[in-house]
């Protein structure tokens, strides 16, 4: 009998296959006492396991590249956290085995994060994965992770750690379904980069029986259990129509009546450039520079190293637009030489531009490197600051850019509601805005972007979020300046039309989403997009907003 379940669709496409569950988590090690004379040996075992797991995570990151590399390197840093290791060694000194000490130390830290009610609570899944890998190595048992299979399947898990998602084989993993997560979680972002259909935040996903045939629609978030032949044919036909539409849609982004909407790519480093170029990106709307700073958490990269990396990306888009975000450190991206270790709530503390203004030498080096990287190139270089709250922040960043001799356009990210509400004031200091809808939603609704329980508040269709986007876009238009979106909202083809109707001037997304958005925009006029935007803003919920926009664009 066919049954339909609904989660949150986070990566387009349809997958039909049998359920395979993620390998089970490591069992809790026994709480046995060790002789005092064995403590030094056990401490050595713990250190070796930690270093081996960190090296494995780093190696996986190097293989994956791009955004995945930054995520996995952050996990490696988590494994090597000196405070955690010190706690492990203290527990061993009073009689715990290495594996039990690791389990208990991580459990203590996990409880702090899970109960904090703050941005770092979203790191619990990553922390659990690191713990499981270290304990598995110490116990000499297989690592938890993606199941072995010779046949393609749909992967089902409570949550997917970045280390697993980053190296999924799309020829075997047709799609995946998770019980936790949200539309802007690490796994969702990496799924879109891989082009793997995915649904997250599905209640009871773990109860799906192994071997059950399911169909996953990553666009609608629907899961069909034991789909009929008719349903499979419908889904496959819809997928074929989408594929044909994608193939027919080429060239610059524009609505059906010729209103230009540049379609740009979000990239995490030079390794992402090839996919962006192949997908027809007209430039880069978000060049995340954190990858350069994660190699060494205790020292900033040299100016020369930065120049080389930036120039690789700039050279790939001659005559195109490349928007570089300066270092966004803090919260879930701590760096020992920059971010405070004792902040009670890092998400609301010193992060982003605040961190850089506290360390002007780091900011100046990065801006100088960007200036040198762009010398002699025809590219349109633009530089923006993360986590800008008001005009004073914008002025401080613009002044720093001028002092560094940077001739690029200067802009800011709108990720804090205050910046959207006072966008016109902010624009008196800078030349453009870029809306980071992931964090803007998080701060608007007090809803951690990594926590599945609040995923409905992270839905970019929330009318309150659309209101903030409209405020920023209207301010930019009044000032004669541009206002783009570089958050995950831009990767939704239907929402891309609504954002265009709200007055957004460019859209930036993962390379895999570009063809879908290009094809969607080409089907509708600007006037239709504006009517869809008005209908969405008039709704009272995300679901109603989506349905209202869909009704307008389908002519209902």
- Read off the pLDDT of each residue in 536-552 and give the average, rounded to a whole number: 95
Confidence of residue 533 (pLDDT cuts 50, 70, 90): very high
Helix or strand run (H / E) with residue 449: none
Name residue 175's beta-bridge partners: 154
pLDDT of residue 180: 83
71 vs 56, which has greater pLDDT? 56
- As separate numbers, helices (DSSP H) first and strands (DSSP E) second, the chain gives 21, 16
More confident residue, 416 or 128: 416
CA 252 to chain CA centroid, Å, is 25
Reference 528, options 556, 488, 492, 486; nearest CA is 556
Of residues 304 and 240, more confidence is placed in: 304
Mean pLDDT of 194-208: 88
Q: What is the pLDDT of residue 331?
A: 61
Looking at residue 121, what is its pLDDT? 47
Query: End-to-end distance of the chain based on CA atoms, in angstroms?
Result: 32
What is the model's pLDDT at position 82? Answer: 87
Report, as an integer, the average pLDDT of 449-478.
Answer: 88
Per-residue pLDDT tens digits for 9-18: 888 889 999 9
Residue 25 pLDDT? 61
The single residue listed with the structure tokens 């008005």 is 534
pLDDT per position as a tens digit, 440-457: 999 999 987 666 577 788
Q: What is the pLDDT of residue 447?
A: 85
Catalytic-residue membership of 401: no
Dihedral, 540, 446, 166, 129 alpha carbons, nearest 10: -130
Q: What is the pLDDT of residue 40?
A: 93
Instruction: Work out the average pLDDT over 230-257.
Output: 85
Strands 213-217, 14-21: pairing is antiparallel
Percent of the chain predicted with pLDDT > 90: 55
Q: What does the pLDDT read at residue 470?
A: 98
| Residue 246 reports pLDDT greater than 80 | no
Residue 485 has what pLDDT? 98
Q: Looking at residues 260-280, what average pLDDT do you find?
A: 91
Selecting among 12, 186, 401, 483, the annotated active-site residue is: 186
pLDDT for the residue 507: 98
Q: Are 363 and 371 in contact (CB under 8 A)?
A: no
pLDDT of residue 517: 93
Instruction: Please check the confidence at residue 248 and state whether its pLDDT lies above 60.
Output: yes
Average model confidence (pLDDT) across the chain? 88
91 — pLDDT class (breaks 50, 70, 90): very high
Sheet holding 222-225: strands in order across?
3-6, 222-225, 213-217, 14-21, 153-157, 173-178, 198-200, 8-11
What tens digit of pLDDT does each residue of 322-357 get? 999 999 986 656 677 777 767 777 778 888 999 999
Mean pLDDT across the stretch 480-503?
95
Answer whether 0.75 is exceeded by the pTM. Answer: no
Q: Is 186 a catalytic residue?
A: yes
Q: Is 210 exposed, middle or buried (0-12, 13-18, 19+ CB in 10 A)?
A: exposed
Contact 61, 73 (CB under 8 A): yes
> What's residue 413's pLDDT?
98
Rounded to an integer, the average pLDDT of 61-76 is 74
Task: Please check the confidence at residue 305 and state whether its pLDDT lies above 50.
Answer: yes
Mark residue 91 as left, alpha or beta (left: phi above 0; alpha: psi -120 to 50; beta: remaining): alpha
Q: Which residue has the higher pLDDT, 411 or 201?
A: 411
Tokens of 413: 């990210």
Q: Is the pLDDT of residue 300 over 50?
A: yes
Closest CA to 102 of 149, 148, 45: 45
How is residue 249 written in tokens? 């849609």
Q: What is the three-state SS of 252-281?
A: CCECCCCCECCEEEEECCHHHHHHHHHCCC
Lowest mean pLDDT, pick from 5-9, 188-192, 377-381, 397-401 = 188-192
Q: Which of 90-94, 191-195, 503-507, 527-531 has the lowest mean pLDDT?
A: 191-195
**Whether the Cβ atoms of residue 471 and residue 420 lie closer than 8 Å to each other:** yes
| Confidence band, pLDDT 50/70/90 cuts, at residue 117 | very low
Catalytic residue from among 12, 359, 483, 486: 486
Distance from C-alpha of 83 to C-alpha of 268, rounded to nearest angstrom? 29
């Amino acid at each position: 009998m066919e049954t339909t379940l609904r989660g949150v669709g986070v990566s387009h496409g349809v997958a039909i296959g049998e359920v395979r569950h993620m390998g089970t988590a490591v069992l809790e090690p026994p709480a046995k006492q060790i002789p005092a004379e064995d403590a030094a040996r056990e401490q050595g075992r713990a250190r070796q396991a930690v270093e081996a797991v960190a090296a494995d995570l780093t190696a996986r990151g190097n293989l994956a590249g791009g955004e995945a590399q930054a995520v996995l390197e952050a996990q490696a840093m988590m494994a090597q956290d000196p405070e955690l290791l010190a706690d492990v060694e203290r527990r061993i000194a009073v009689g715990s085995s290495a594996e039990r000490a690791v389990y208990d130390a991580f459990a203590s830290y996990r409880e702090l994060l899970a109960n904090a009610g703050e941005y770092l609570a979203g790191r619990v899944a990553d922390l659990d994965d690191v713990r499981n890998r270290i304990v598995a190595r110490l116990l000499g048992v297989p690592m938890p992770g993606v199941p072995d299979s010779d046949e393609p399947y749909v992967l089902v898990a409570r949550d997917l750690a970045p280390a697993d998602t980053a190296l999924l084989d799309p020829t075997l993993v047709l799609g995946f379904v998770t019980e936790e997560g949200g539309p802007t979680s690490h796994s969702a972002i990496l799924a879109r980069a891989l082009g793997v259909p995915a649904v997250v935040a599905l209640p009871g996903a773990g109860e799906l029986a192994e071997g059950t045939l399911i169909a996953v629609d990553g666009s609608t978030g629907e899961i069909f259990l034991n789909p009929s032949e008719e349903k499979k044919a419908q889904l496959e036909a819809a997928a074929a129509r989408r594929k044909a539409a994608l193939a027919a849609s080429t060239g610059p982004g524009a609505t059906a009546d010729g209103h230009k909407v540049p379609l740009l790519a979000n990239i995490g480093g030079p390794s992402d450039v090839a996919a962006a170029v192949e997908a027809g990106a007209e430039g880069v709307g978000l060049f995340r520079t954190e990858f350069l700073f994660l190699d060494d958490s205790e020292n900033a990269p040299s100016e020369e190293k930065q120049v080389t990396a930036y120039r690789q990306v700039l050279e790939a888009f001659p005559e195109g637009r490349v928007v570089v975000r300066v270092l966004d450190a803090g919260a879930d991206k701590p760096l020992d030489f920059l971010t405070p270790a004792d902040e009670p709530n890092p998400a609301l503390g010193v992060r982003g531009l605040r961190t850089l203004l506290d360390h002007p030498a780091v900011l100046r080096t990065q801006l100088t490197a960007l200036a040198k990287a762009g010398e002699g190139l025809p590219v349109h270089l633009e530089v923006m600051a993360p986590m800008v709250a008001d005009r004073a922040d914008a002025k401080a960043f613009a002044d720093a850019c001028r002092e560094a001799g940077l001739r690029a356009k200067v802009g800011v990210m709108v990720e804090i509601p205050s910046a959207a509400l006072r966008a016109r004031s902010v624009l008196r200091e800078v030349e453009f805005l870029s809306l980071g809808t992931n964090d803007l939603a998080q701060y608007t609704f007090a809803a951690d972007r990594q926590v599945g329980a609040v995923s409905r508040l992270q839905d970019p269709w929330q009318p309150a979020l659309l209101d903030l986007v409209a405020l920023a876009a209207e301010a930019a238009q009044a000032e004669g300046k541009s206002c783009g979106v570089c958050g995950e909202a831009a990767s939704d083809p239907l929402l891309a039309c609504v954002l265009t109707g709200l007055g957004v001037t460019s859209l930036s997304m993962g390379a895999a989403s570009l063809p879908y958005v290009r094809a969607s925009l080409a089907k509708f006029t600007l006037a239709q997009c504006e009517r869809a935007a008005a209908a969405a803003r008039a709704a009272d919920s995300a679901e109603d907003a989506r349905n209202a926009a869909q009704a307008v664009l389908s002519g209902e």
